[in-house]
Amino acid sequence: MKLTKQATSLLNITLEECAEVVQSISKIFRFGMDGTHPDRPLETNKMHLEEEIGDLLCMIQLLESQGLLDAAVVEVAMHKKLDKLKFWSPEVFDNLTESDNKHTRKRRMFSPKVARNIFPPP
């Protein structure tokens, strides 16, 4: 399938947003969640990561809405990743509470259906 100009733009912007998320996480590892950049003294690294994640989620939704991603396939991939994390990185799920589950469900990017049972109650 040859990419349209629109698809190429959407994928390029998504690539850039992925890089910005990586850079933001790198800053957190180097300077901490509460660290700030001299050019943005009122914005913590955590706040910056949240902004970049929001930008990336926006792009993912656009890719889905333009038919470049299939939300059902993405949902299956999310569940597979969660299964892998439960096996290989169980510490990821330490300290999750029911309120965390509800918060996570509210913020899912595709539909409430996607979020259902992502983090089942303990």
Shared domain for 111 and 83, answered yes or no, is: yes
> Does 65 lie in the same domain as 20?
yes
Same-domain check for residues 36 and 89: no
pLDDT beneath 50, residues of the chain: 102-103, 105-122
| Same structural domain, 96 and 52 | no
Same domain, 20 and 78: no
Domain that holds residue 38: 1-69
Distance of alpha carbon 59 from alpha carbon 79, whole angstroms: 21
Contact in structure between 63 and 56 (CB atoms under 8 Å): no
Which residues make beta-bridge pairs with 74? none
Neighbours of 63 (CB within 10 A): 19
Whole-model pTM: value is: 0.76
3-state secondary structure 34-101: CCEECCEEEEEHHHHHHHHHHHHHHHHHHHHHCCCCCHHHHHHHHHHHHHHHHHHCHHHHCCCCHHHH
Q: What is the pLDDT of residues 108-117, one digit of tens each?
A: 444 444 444 4
Report how many domains make up the chain. Answer: 2
Domain end (from 69, 85, 103)? 69
What local confidence, expressed as pLDDT, does residue 22 receive? Answer: 98
Same domain, 49 and 102: no
